[in-house]
Structure 1
Amino acid sequence: MRTTSSREIYRNAWMSLREDRIVHPDGSPGLYSVVDKPAAACVIAVEEGGFHLIEQFRYPLGRRSWEFVQGTWPHDGPPGEELARAELAEETGLRAASLELLGRIAIAPGMTSQECDVFVARGLTPGPIAREVTEQEMEHRLFSADELEDMLRKGVITDSVTLAAYTLFLLRTP
């Protein structure tokens, strides 16, 4: 596959949309619309055998969603551990003594270039919460492992990053 042209359709502080004209290997033309977003971080905050989750309203879905802490900077801020620590503190008030990188997830590779680094946070201590305006109705709660897995089985948790991150956690945890 070869890109023959690319043009930006839209841009704001958090994402851009581009349209790429391509040529398939057989020579036939094609078109891709791609949402470009900065790298994100997801934090699995573990404490006493349980997991800290946040619940927030997800406008595109029109409903609230339970998820692991996650987020991104506008305009390609520094990814990785610095972003993970900032998101954890912002959304839950928790600070982590240690972060372990579990892996990277391609969030929706059929439509966006965005990827997400997944971290496990341990040694948690409380601190002030500093949520953004868009997060003002966010909830935060500690769930036991059994409660989390029950929510996954029953389809209460549908966020793809949370589902994939938990899989990485289970594969890395004895």
Structure 2
Amino acid sequence: MDNTDQQKFSETTLHTEPVYQGRVISLQVETVRLPNGETAKREIVKHPGAVAVLALLNDKMLVVEQYRKPLGKSQVEIPAGKLEPGEDLLEAAARELEEETGYRCDSLRHLSSFYTSPGFCDEILHLYVAEQLSKGTVHLDDDEFLECEAITLEEAQQLIKQQKISDAKTIAAVYAWQIYKLTGSFPA
């Protein structure tokens, strides 16, 4: 798809109404002009972006289990967290890895960046792989309760089937790890 194809679908913002400003997200309603000249409303969640880490230790993946209130259940996920304003992506990934798992890494490599829910949110998530791990110190936030565990690829696949792993970033990480194990390199 070239630039002219993208332009034929673009929407022009006519008015923005802030609705909510929170600690992590904000919500705004935009009135837009559609490609056909009509107008419509768009509810948009603004998010600072996040990092996530596929951390490999002795042929196992580090995961954290924590309760996710929007889902009403506990989930098993790779370590992840939101970006602070102006924060370097590599530093953020290293920070989140140690804060949630208690491990540091000598090597961080970018795998992919993707939008989590582009229909209503601008959050972009940067996925990294961490290898050559060494013990550090867990530093959980005051409102953060989780447990860290190392699981095999087969255990991760089983957790996906059981929907205990059901978030996009962790599923993407598991599939990237599976490709790595099959081919010897991570997908480009």
Q: Tell me the TM-score normalised to structure 1 length.
A: 0.92
Unaligned runs of 5+ in 2: 1-10, 184-188
Q: Which amino acid aligns with 1:9?
A: V
Match of 2:172 among 154, 157, 164: 164
Q: Which range is displaced more, 154-163 or 48-57?
A: 154-163
Greater share of residues in strand: 1
Q: State which of 11, 17, 23 in structure 2 corresponds to 1:7.
A: 17
- Given the alignment, which residue of 64, 76, 81 partners 1:71? 81
Mean Cα deviation higher: 98-107 or 144-153: 144-153
SS at match of 1:133: coil
Alignment of 1:60-139 (within 5 A): 60-74=70-84, 76-135=85-144, 137-139=145-147
Aligned length: 172
Amino acid at match of 1:60: P
Distance in 2 (CA, whole Å) between partners of 1:45 and 1:140 is 12
Query: Which structure carries more relative contact order (alpha carbon 8 Å, separation 6+)?
Result: 1
Within the candidate set 56, 60, 69, 1:46 is matched to 56
Identity of counterpart residues, as a percentage?
27
Residue 38 of structure 1, CA deviation? 0.7
Q: Structure 1: state its 5+ residue gaps.
A: none
Q: Distance in 2 between matches of 1:168 and 1:5?
A: 41
Residue aligning to 2:153: 145
CA contact (8 A) 1:39 1:79 kept: no
Q: In structure 2, the residue corresponding to 1:134 is in which secondary structure?
A: coil
Tell me how far 1:166 sits from its aligned partner.
2.9
Contact 1:54–1:68 (8 Å) recurs in 2 = yes
CA distance in structure 2 between the partners assigned to 1:4 and 1:132 by the alignment = 40
* Structure 1 residue 155: Cα displacement: 2.1
* 1:112 Cα offset (Å): 0.7
Q: Indicate the larger mover: 99-108 or 9-18.
A: 9-18
User: Displaced runs of 4+ in structure 1, greater than 6 A?
Assistant: none
State the 1:171 CA deviation: 4.7
| 1:13 partner SS | coil
- Provide the C-alpha distance between the structure 2 equivalents of 1:162 and 1:11, rounded to a whole number of angstroms: 28
Q: Quick one: structure 1 residues 168 and 28, their matched pair in 2 at CA, closer, same or farther if it must change by over 3 Å?
A: farther
Secondary structure at the aligned position of 1:83 is classed as helix
Looking at structure 2, the residues matched to 169 and 48 of structure 1 have their Cα atoms a distance apart, in angstroms, of 13
Partner of 2:35: 25
CA RMSD of aligned residues (A): 1.5
